[in-house]
Amino acid sequence: MTKTATTITPATEAPRVHRQVVLPLGKSFEIAYNSIRVRFFRSLITTMSLVLAVSFLGFVSVSTDIANGLLSTADPGLRQALIRSGYDLEPEDTRADSSPKQRWIVVLSLLVCVVGIVNAQLMAVTERFREIGTMKCLGALDRFVLRLFLLEALMQGLVGAGIGALAGALFALISNTFRYGMIAVTTPAMADIALSIAMATGVGCLLSIVGVLYPAFVAARMQPVEAMRVEH
C-alpha cells in the first residue's frame, strides 16, 4: 500500500498553469488589418498626408536619378538644358545632386507630414478609447495595444508610402519626358530609380511609425476604468 503511494506521488504532480496572457503575432496582424479595413476612410485620412509627402520625396529623388542619367550621356546640349532647369552644375561635375533648397523643402514637408500623422492618430486613438478599454478588461496587456497600433501604422505606412513613392516617381518620369524628350526615360539606371522608390517607401514607413508612437503610448498606458468613462 505505502509502496504504491510513493511511486504515484511524483508522477501525478499537477502541471503549473502559465499565468500569462498572449496575443500571437499572426492574430495581431489579423486584428490590425481588420481594424484598418473597417475604418477605411479614417485610415485614408491618416495616410493621405503621408502619401503626399512621400510622393514629393520620391519625385525629387527620381528627378535626380534622371538628371544623372542625362549627364551620363555626356551630351553638352542636355547638360545646358539641365543647368537651365535649375541644377547647379560646375564644369567638372559628372553627377547631379538635389539642390540644398530642394532638400530643405523635402525635410519640411516630411516634418509637416509627421505632425499631421500624430494629429490624425491622436484623433483615431480618442475615438477608440472604449475599444481599448474593453480589450484591457478582457485581459490585454499594454504592449498588445501598443503592438496593434504599431502594426496598423506599419501597414498604413507601407501602403501609403508605397503609393506615394510610385506616384512621385511616375510624375517625375512624365514631367521629365515632357522637358527632355524620351531620352529622360531611357538613360537613367533602373536600379537607381528602384532604389529611390524603395528609399522613399522606407522613409514613409519610418515616419508613419514615428507619428503613431506618442498616440499609441497614450492608448496603451490608459487605465481601463478611464477608458470606460469616455462618453460617446
Partner 1 sequence: MNVIAGAFAPPATGRTAMISNKNIVRVSNVTKSFQLGKISVHALKGIDLEIPTGQYISIMGPSGSGKSTLFNMIGGLDKPSTGKVFIDEVDISQLDAYELAWLRCRKIGYIFQTFNIIQVMTALENVTLPMTFAGMRNESAVEKGMELLELVGLADRFQHKPFELSGGQQQRVAIARALANDPAIILADEPTGNLDLATGEEIITLLKNLSHERGVTIISATHDIKMLNVSDQVVWIRDGRIDKIESREELTISVGRIDARPGA
Binding residues for partner 1, per CB under 8 A?
A: 14, 16-24, 27, 31, 34-35, 38-39, 130-131, 133-142, 144, 223-225, 228
> Measured from the CB of residue 118, what is the shortest distance to partner 1 in angstroms?
22
- The amino acid occupying position 101 is K
- Residue 99 beta carbon to partner 1: minimum distance, rounded to whole angstroms: 46
Q: Which residues of 100-134 are buried (b: 16+ CB within 10 A; e: fewer)?
A: eebeeebeebbeebbebbbebbbebbeebbeebbe
Helix extents (H) in 39-99 = 40-72, 76-84
Please choose, from the candidates 150, 116, 103, the residue with its C-alpha nearest in 3D space to the C-alpha of residue 48.
116
| CB nearer partner 1, residue 3 or residue 232 | 232
Pick between residue 115 and residue 225 the one whose CB is nearest to partner 1: 225
Nearer to partner 1, 21 or 83 (CB): 21
**Shortest Å, Cβ 43 to partner 1:** 12
The CA angle 154-230-25, to the nearest 5 degrees, is: 30
Distance CA 125, CA 227 (A): 11
40 CB-near residues (< 8 Å, 6+ apart): none
Whose cell is 516634418? That residue is: 111
The residue (of 23 and 199) whose beta carbon lies closer to partner 1 is: 23
Question: Is the CB of 35 or the CB of 49 nearer to partner 1?
Answer: 35
Shortest separation between residue 27's beta carbon and partner 1, angstroms: 5
- 166 phi and psi, to 5 degrees? -65, -45
- As measured in angstroms, the least distance from the Cβ of 11 to partner 1 is 18
**Minimum CB distance to partner 1 smaller for 103 or for 229:** 229
Taking the complex as a whole, how short is the minimal distance between the CB of residue 48 and partner 1, in angstroms? 21
